[in-house]
Chains A and B, each alone.
Chain A
Amino acid sequence: MEKKRVGVLSLQGSFAEHMRSVFRSGGIPVRVTDSVSLDCADALIIPGGESTTLRYLLTQEGLKHSLEHRVRKGMPVYGTCAGAIVLAKSIAGEKSFMPLMNISVERNAYGAQLDSFEKDLSVKGFPKPVHAVFIRAPRIHAGVGVEVLAHAGKDVVLAREKNMLVSTFHPELTADLRIHQLFMRLMD
């Protein structure tokens, strides 16, 4: 079987960790920094980082337009934390950026770094729990058509709509590859 070429938006944030997880999951990580490199990828991961910085850079690079186009045409995309904010239909108190997925988000919803936490989650379809790392995480609310795959307490933390997957935690910071594998199955 041909290896999957998974792009990782490599402007700012935890992109190196995502590339490592893609590689360990048997995919070919592709470093995406502009529209040309985006063309070389069959899917895209938008990493954790600072969403204000990511949004600023995506606009500067003209990448926003081609990315939006590709996702609308069905390219699988996975946003972690800041990446989820980038894809949300609405952002509390701010203008939405790339309103692709029917979720609304609250940035830094849990507070400061001191309120960051780790938690074991049960994920739909996974026999064993996932140890999840939440860092200055946003809170998401799923709209119509969005399938919720995991909760932490009452909060939705992993969700999917068609070709789009988002998590408010960081699977790239742990050695568990199951979330990346789940995403890569969207490419089949």
Chain B
Amino acid sequence: MSVSSFTLKSGLAQMLKGGVIMDVVNASQARVAERAGAVAVMALERVPADIRAAGGVARMAAPRKIKEIQRVVSIPVMAKARIGHFAEAQVLEALKVDFIDESEVLTPADEEFHIDKTRFAVPFVCGAVDLGQALRRIHEGAAMIRTKGEAGTGNVVEAVRHIRAIQSEFLLLKKMSAKQLSAAAEEMGVPLNSVKSVRETGRLPVVNFAAGGIATPADASLVMQLGVEGVFVGSGIFKSSHPLKTAHAIVEATHYFDRPERVMKASEHMEEPMRGLEMGSLPIRLAKRGF
């Protein structure tokens, strides 16, 4: 399979900006997501909250599940592969998914290497908790970054921490001398050029969404105001009391994130959000996976 150009890969991410990508586990959830205005769906076996509850090894979704979802929606279908599991990614590419998420929500398959994403024609999105991770993933070929947050918790605190971490590193880079800059590049394990260009532009070279813990319209507005370009909502939709209403409300709030009266209206339209978890109560922190 020929490797498609980075313009095509990152271009699809550009088209998703300002949108909400929703986790779905079957065709009927995918339909709900599309109807509510999702820009894409993420096909997986279980939503993160259930992965957390079930324990065990979390893997790529069954191809039959993904096909079932591809059949019913016209928006892009994404799917998750385990960190480093390039064979799962090859299967997803063979399935012609539109985007692969190399995700810490699944159990990592390689503790030393992430997938070499330049070898694939399908674009990848990867998680990051800081600038170094983001730039390493981009260097490996990721066409989109999402801050990790802490998936399956309905608690936005980690998402906020990761967005702020990346932004404060942008500011630090700005103040660095040439020597400090090359030291920073070395420490991050990325080419000096990519650090230089980030310093110049004050942003990542690819689209950056937030993920992990977004459960309400106000959560979506918060992360958008902090500067991300869209949101992933995992458990937040289908673990709420009325998924369609929640999905609509989060889509509204993401598009009109800077208009409090619209976020208020969106909040009024939803019922109970998912039950959240305090960080201190978690036996496993997914965001610590990957490097």
- Min CB–CB distance A48 → chain B (angstroms): 5
Q: Are B19 and A113 in contact (CB under 8 A)?
A: no
Q: With an 8 A cutoff between CB atoms, is A42 at the interface?
A: no
0/1 per residue, B1-38, Cβ < 8 Å to A? 10011011001101111110000000000000010111
Q: With an 8 A cutoff between CB atoms, is B252 at the interface?
A: yes
Q: With an 8 A cutoff between CB atoms, is B158 at the interface?
A: no
Give the chain A neighbours of B256 by CB distance below 8 A. Answer: 33
A-B contact count (CB 8 A): 104
**Cross-chain pairs A/B with CB under 8 angstroms, 27 sampled:** A12-B39, A13-B16, A13-B19, A33-B256, A48-B14, A49-B18, A49-B19, A50-B39, A50-B40, A50-B76, A52-B74, A52-B75, A53-B19, A53-B37, A60-B252, A81-B15, A82-B15, A113-B96, A113-B99, A114-B1, A114-B96, A116-B8, A116-B11, A136-B12, A136-B98, A173-B7, A174-B7
Of the candidates B7, B12, B14, B96, the one having the most CB atoms from chain A within 10 angstroms of its own CB is: B14
- Residues of chain A at the chain B interface (Cβ within 8 Å): 10-17, 33, 48-50, 52-53, 56-57, 60, 81-82, 107-108, 111-114, 116-118, 133, 135-136, 170, 173-174
Q: Are A114 and B4 in contact (CB under 8 A)?
A: yes
Selected contact of A136 from candidates B1, B7, B17, B76, CB within 8 Å: B76
Q: Are B37 and A57 in contact (CB under 8 A)?
A: yes
Selected contact of B98 from candidates A13, A15, A49, A113, CB within 8 Å: A113
Q: With an 8 A cutoff between CB atoms, is B169 at the interface?
A: no
Q: Are A17 and B14 in contact (CB under 8 A)?
A: yes
Q: Tell me, in angstroms, the Cα distance from A24 to B160 when the chains sit together.
A: 34
Chain A residue at minimum C-beta to C-beta distance from B73: A52
Q: Tell me, in angstroms, the Cα distance from A56 to B38 when the chains sit together.
A: 10
Q: With an 8 A cutoff between CB atoms, is B97 at the interface?
A: yes
Q: Tell me, in angstroms, the Cα distance from A12 to B252 when the chains sit together.
A: 11
Q: Assuming A13-B19, A53-B251, what are 6 further A-B pairs, CB within 8 angstroms?
A: A48-B15, A53-B19, A57-B255, A116-B8, A133-B11, A173-B7
Chain A residue at minimum C-beta to C-beta distance from B37: A56
Q: Are A56 and B14 in contact (CB under 8 A)?
A: no
Q: Tell me, in angstroms, the Cα distance from A114 to B8 when the chains sit together.
A: 9
Residue tally, chain B, CB below 8 Å to A:
34
Chain B residue at minimum C-beta to C-beta distance from A16: B17
Q: Tell me, in angstroms, the Cα distance from A48 to B16 when the chains sit together.
A: 9
Q: Are A50 and B98 in contact (CB under 8 A)?
A: no
- Residues of chain B at the chain A interface (Cβ within 8 Å): 1, 4-5, 7-8, 11-12, 14-19, 34, 36-40, 74-76, 93, 96-99, 121-123, 251-252, 255-256
- Min CB–CB distance B190 → chain A (angstroms): 24
Give the chain B neighbours of A12 by CB distance below 8 A. Answer: 17-19, 39, 255
Q: Tell me, in angstroms, the Cα distance from A50 to B15 when the chains sit together.
A: 7
- Min CB–CB distance B50 → chain A (angstroms): 27
Q: Tell me, in angstroms, the Cα distance from A31 to B74 when the chains sit together.
A: 27
Q: What are the 7 A-B residue pairs with the smallest beta carbon separation, nearest first?
A: A113-B98, A56-B37, A12-B18, A112-B96, A50-B39, A116-B8, A53-B37
Chain A residue at minimum C-beta to C-beta distance from B258: A33
Give the chain A neighbours of B251 by CB distance below 8 A. Answer: 53, 56-57
Q: Are A118 and B7 in contact (CB under 8 A)?
A: yes
Q: Are B18 and A133 in contact (CB under 8 A)?
A: no
A57-B255, A108-B74, A113-B99 given as contacts; is B11 within 8 A of A50 (CB)?
no
